[in-house]
Structure 1
Amino acid sequence: MRKILAALLLALFASTAAQAKWYEASSEHFVIYADDSEEDILRFAENLERYHSAMSLVTGRAIETPSPSNRVVIFVAGGKGDMRELTGSRWVGGFYVARAGASRAFVQTIRNKSGYPHFSTVILLHEYAHHFLISSARHSMPRWLGEGAAEFFAASSFDSEGGMQLGMPARHRANEISYAGIPPVEYLLDPKAFVESDREASGSFYGASWALFHMLIFDDARKGQLTSYWRLLNEGTDSLEAGKQAFGDLEQLDKDLKKYLKQKRMSLFRIGPDQLTTRPVTLRELPKGEAKMMDVRIVSQHGVTREEALDLVEEARKIAAKYPDDAGVQVALAEAEFDAGFNEAAIAAADRAIALDPSRPNAYVQKGYAQFSIAEEAEDKDAAYATAMETFSALNRLENDHPVPLIHYYRSFVERGAEPSETARHALERASQLAPFDKALAMNAAMMQAGEGKIALALVGLSPVANNPHGGELADTARLYVAQLEKAEEGTPWQPEEGEAKATGNEAKDPVAEGAAKKPTGS
């Protein structure tokens, strides 16, 4: 088993640890932590905001500005070797974990190259495209459409003048398409046709999905067909039938797609700087103690086992002992203590952080997590959960749309065996609205609604979970519940049929951007 010792931490960041200056770049939708030059970090943050604006412009969709803690936090973890140490895999170029109030992306060293982006940047753009599309749509996409759209947007480049190109040919899929070929479109449209063990067919799924999406966007002969397909899906038509109605003869579509890929030139969106709307990026150099704690923080927020956490907290304590007056250090220590199961120590560190700087949301989160953990075993559960909710109420006052206090308000009823109040039920629904990308949270909100007899709402909430191709057991359970709910009567409280699987709340890994959520999701 891979152990996280001081030696590993040194190996993970050996190339930059000695004189590293860490910076935090804060923007409307992102927070970036990197030990790079101020110029490169600012440019990287500005490019990501331009990307968000371009996606909004092209799709015609807008998403509610996230609360500060619900932004995507990006850790620049180093080169290939550093990523390998962090993940335990030689194949991972970067990854993203979607969690309510704690969405995290881990990427390699910043490469602000002109023209086609570095593959680690492509991974980040691909995953943020998923994040954006899920956050801006009520209905879930079939797998080919979700992946095709993410690949379409990820193939983007940024101009030095402030503009960008979006929807470029996906060069990172060229070999895949060349060697594996394009499977029949029917295979893409019909989820039942996808068989993981069929390497010949599945090998070019991402490339083929990109190609079909790109053609439907730019081919004049097929203008409007993608919109028709999406409308049919929203009306309840299954993907294959919707494709036949919207695209016409699928064999002809196969021929047209192969012909489309043989073109020497392809269309793309060229977007000028005057078309993009972004707000300024704020850059902060981290104090010395907080900078020294960054490698611990990265490993902790990546997710650790209990054994790894016990090693990691020792390193965190050594750093914290040298910087007792650094609020950022104390917050990171609180998280490491909680991960290791030392709840009282986590609360003490969080209290020190709050005393030093009461504006640190994660200090309240870690304190609240630890208090909830203590409340599970408390004799007077009502009093214990009330104490824990005082912490989350303080966080709610600090950041009204932080989803974690809303989730835990609902949990404070359920976990002590009490009937959730109407306000608690609304809180869980609101949290799911604020973080639609958190599949475990969506599952729990949908199950609550189903229990109230809100069958239609529950089906809407479960659909993205059930259609998640990388959702594992959670997706399997959601599909089972969807099948049962489709037979249920609106207005009649529903519970899973006895003997059937229960929701697990575990998020599975995405093969494009592998990573596992080991932190509490609030679900």
Structure 2
Amino acid sequence: MKRFSLGFALALGLSVPAQADWHVAESDHFVVYADDRAKDVQEFAEALERYHSAMSLLQMRENTKPSPSNRVTIFVVGSEGKIRKLAGENAKNVAGFYIPRAGASRAFVPEINMRGRETDFSVTVLLHEYAHHFLISAAPYAMPRWVNEGAAEFFASAKFEKDGGLQIGAPAYHRAAELAFAKDVSVEELIDPELYEKNKGKRFDAFYGRAWALYHYLYFNEERSGQLRNYMVGIAEGKAPRTAAIDAFGNLDALQKEVDRYIDQRRMNVWTLDADMLPTNPVTVRQLSEGEGEVMPLRIRSQRGVDREEALALLPEIREIAAEYPRDAGVLTALAEAEYDAGNDEEAIAAADRALAIDPSRKNAYVQKGYALFRQAASASDQDAAYAAAMAPFSALNRLENDHPIPLMYYYRSFVERGEEPNENARLALEQAMQFAPFDKSLRMNAAMMQASEGKIAIARQTIAPIANDPHGGGLAQTARRFYEAMAGVEEGTAWNPGATLDLATAIADAATDEDSASE
């Protein structure tokens, strides 16, 4: 560990890479698509793997390897303007964003720039979002918002060394202006969500910067060693936030003064991890086919998530590319997804079948075919036969990748959508899917409701708590909070179901848009 000068500076300039062919880099934890040189894409993926290793080391977590489909897929889209267009309304300050979904977690960043003295801002955004992904996957309990954001800022302020080493915990340069000019947020407001909401104004405040400062101080201060852990144990045990904080930190006014002095000091601690401490894991790079490269900008828009109207607007161009490349399995898989999104089930099935006939390893083709068959099964006269047929592509996908969460989720749904009680295997499948993808909030909500219906009240509340405490969770978080509180008075072993099932269904349907976590 070495000392680091605190001289805050904001370096947001982005370089524009020359046009290149589309490449994909694959590693244990990431898949990166970029219209860039193969060497640059490989170096970027290797740097991300070192970042993951650093987080595992400092969090004292086993460096596990996820199922291939639960890796984070990163699309490098080319500019901040394109990012804002993808992000949608109210996106003027968005420099990148991440969508956590079982079997389809996606991150979108402007471009790759790893050559400056400081980490590029667009990369910092990605590191912040991946830190959330890592922490949610590793922690079996809900973290308070300030810890969640403070830890993400702590890790995202990483600096990549030319020799493969990594600095973690460097000053959050990108929060300099916020800390200097935005409305201040006190330690008590960080710790007490109700007090923060009461005092929060319309003006942008320093929540993120102050959360980083408090986390950084507690992490490195020797006199307060162990206090952050004790605080988190108190939260996990169900203590009120303020009580847990006072029990762990003591006088909060004293802590406030210490953090204020800490921000103003000239030097700070930072972890310096040598390259030999950070295994990179193998990275393979391949150039996409001409057809896949041509369809990639449209595929990115589909993968971000589209409604039917948007899908219909994309479809003619994707069909045109598919006609030009009728033997390209990647293009046909993109076509299957676009047809499904546009509501064309037969066309989606046909495109998926054509893709799989050429390349049986195209996992998204199985997924899109299964989605289309499930949607058709809902109105079939013989639902048992229809749902059995709908499970066929998911079963094939399960044989291809045993730990893929989507086949497990749809096995459970094959009972629910027929109005039948899921058998034990189906219930275990849903819980296993959540274990593979704990970051997917709609999946977590469904698992919690299943557990509650079985009378597993304590487990259900533990499962739902991260959603209930999510400050960015929107309608789903509000519903989760109501359910979490309602279950508090239910005796263990008593089956519990929410009264407002329509409210739950609507909240889960809206989760795809609510759970986007963009830079602020």
TM-score class, shorter-chain normalisation, is over 0.9
* Aligned position for 2:4: none
Partner of 1:350: 352
- Asked if structure 1 preserves the Cα contact closer than 8 Å seen for 2:185 and 2:206, the reply is yes
The one-letter code sitting in structure 2 at the alignment partner of 1:231 is V
Contact 2:99 2:517 in 1 (8 A): no
1:139 and 1:194 map into 2 onto residues whose CA distance is: 22
- How far 1:501 sits from its partner (Å)? 4.2
Which of 413, 416, 428 is the equivalent residue of 1:414?
416
CA contact (8 A) 1:63 1:135 kept: no
Cα RMSD, aligned residues only: 1.9
Amino acid at match of 1:403: P
* Partner residue in 2 for 1:172: 174
2:518 maps to which of 509, 513, 517: 513
Residue deviations 1:358-416 (CA, integer Å, cap 9, x gap):
01111100000010011111111111100010110000000000000000000000001
The amino acid of 1:85's aligned partner reads K
Q: Write the deviation string for residues 46-86 of structure 1: whole angstroms up to 9, x where unpaired.
A: 01000000000011023642111111000000112222333
Q: Which of 477, 480, 485 is the equivalent residue of 2:482?
A: 480
Task: Please name the residue that 2:85 is paired with.
Answer: 85
How far, CA to CA, are the matches of 2:382 and 2:140 in structure 1? 41
Query: TM-score, normalising length from structure 1?
Result: 0.92
Structure 2: distance between partners of 1:475 and 1:370: 29
> 1:192 aligned to 2:194?
yes
C-alpha distance in 1, partners of 2:293/2:447?
A: 38
1:49 matched to 2:61? The reply is no
Report the CA distance shift for 1:514/1:303 in structure 2 as closer, same or farther (over 3 A).
Answer: farther
User: In the alignment, which residue of structure 2 is the partner of 1:269?
Assistant: 271
1:182 Cα deviation after fit? 3.7
Residue 203 of structure 1: CA displacement? Answer: 0.6
Residues 111-169 of structure 1 show CA distances to partners (whole Å, capped at 9, x for unaligned) of: 11343211111110000000000001101100000000000000001011010100100
| 1: CA distance, partners of 2:491 / 2:208 | 38
Deviations 1:220-258, CA, capped at 9 Å, x for gaps: 221111111112122221221111011010000010010
Cα distance in 2 for partners of 1:59, 1:147 equals 16
> What residue is the counterpart of 2:139 in the other structure?
137
The equivalent of 2:76 in structure 1 is 76
Secondary structure in 2 matching 1:268: strand
Q: Does the 8 Å CA contact 2:47/2:280 hold for their aligned counterparts?
A: no
Unaligned runs of 5+ in 1: 1-14, 516-523
Q: Tell me, what secondary structure is at the counterpart of 1:489? A: coil
Instruction: Provide the C-alpha distance between the structure 1 equivalents of 2:337 and 2:232, rounded to a whole number of angstroms.
Output: 43
CA distance in 2, matches of 1:198, 1:241: 22
After TM superposition, the structure 1 stretch with the greater mean CA deviation from structure 2, 105-114 or 358-367, is 105-114
Greater mean deviation of Cα atoms: 235-244 or 490-499: 490-499
Aligned residues: 500
1:256 aligns with 2:258: yes
Q: Provide the residue aligned with 1:8 in structure 2.
A: none
- Aligned AA (2:172): A
Which residue does the alignment assign to 1:436? 438
194-203 or 243-252: bigger deviation: 194-203
Distance of 1:266 and 1:510 partners within structure 2: 34
For 1:261 and 1:16, locate their aligned partners in 2 and report how far apart those are by CA, in whole Å: 36
Question: Structure 1: how far apart are the matches of 2:258 and 2:31?
Answer: 42
Tell me which amino acid in the other structure corresponds to 2:323.
A
Structure 2 residue aligned with 1:3:
none
Answer whether contact 2:441 2:515 (CA < 8 A) is retained. no
**Pairing 1:34-433 to 2, within 5 Å after superposition:** 34-62=34-62, 64-88=64-88, 89-180=91-182, 182-195=184-197, 198-199=200-201, 203-433=205-435
Distance 1:84 1:241 in 2: 41
Q: Tell me what 1:448 maps to.
A: 450
The whole-number CA distance in structure 2 between the counterparts of 1:362 and 1:196 is 46
CA distance in 2, matches of 1:181, 1:168: 23
Q: Secondary structure at the match of 2:481?
A: helix
Residue 465 of structure 1 aligns with which residue?
467
> Whole-Å Cα distance in 1 between the matches of residues 456 and 17 of structure 2?
54
Deviation at 1:181, TM superposition (A): 5.3
Offset, 1:180: 2.4
Offset of 1:95 from its aligned partner?
A: 0.6
Q: Is the alpha carbon distance of 1:356 and 1:47 closer, same or farther for their aligned partners in structure 2, counting shifts above 3 Å?
A: same
Secondary structure in 2 matching 1:33? strand
Secondary structure of the 1:246 match is helix
Residues 114 and 157, structure 1, Cα contact 8 Å, conserved in 2: no
Q: Distance in 1 between matches of 2:495 and 2:86?
A: 45
Do the aligned residues in 2 keep the contact of 1:63 with 1:132 (CA within 8 Å)? no
Aligned-pair CA distance for 1:16: 9.0
In structure 2, give the amino acid aligned to 1:398. L
Using a 3 Å threshold, how does the CA distance of structure 1 residues 204 and 322 change in structure 2: closer, same or farther? same
What is the rounded CA distance, in whole Å, between the counterparts of 2:426 and 2:472 in structure 1?
30
Distance 2:185 2:429 in 1: 45
Change (3 A) 1:264 1:509: farther
Q: Which residue number in structure 2 is paired with residue 32 of structure 1?
A: 32
Give the deviation of 1:191 after TM superposition. Answer: 1.5
CA deviation string 1:332-377 (max 9, x = no partner)? 0100110111110000010011110101111100000010011111
For structure 2, the residue ranges without an aligned partner over 5 or more in a row are 1-15
For 2:519 and 2:259, the matched residues in 1 are separated by 30
Amino-acid identity (%): 56
> Structure 2 vs 1, CA of residues 445 and 63 (structure 1 numbering), >3 Å: closer, same or farther?
farther
Contact in 1 for aligned 2:77/2:109 (Cα 8 Å):
yes
SS at match of 2:266: coil
Q: Which moved more, 1:446-455 or 1:110-119?
A: 110-119
Aligned equivalents of 1:16 and 1:46: distance in 2? 19
Separation in 1, partners of 2:322, 2:198: 47
Q: Secondary structure at the match of 1:127?
A: helix
Q: Which amino acid aligns with 1:39?
A: K
Partners of 1:84 and 1:200 in 2: CA distance: 22
Query: 2:8 maps to which residue?
Result: none
CA–CA distance in 2 between the matches of 1:201 and 1:229?
Answer: 30
Structure 1 stretch 172-181 or stretch 266-275: which is displaced more? 172-181
Further displaced range: 383-392 or 19-28: 19-28
Structure-2-length-normalised TM-score? 0.93
Amino acid at match of 2:415: F
- The DSSP-based 3-state class of the residue aligned with 1:317 is helix
Q: Is the 8 A contact 1:392 1:405 kept in 2?
A: yes
1:419–1:269 CA distance, 2 compared to 1 (3 A): same
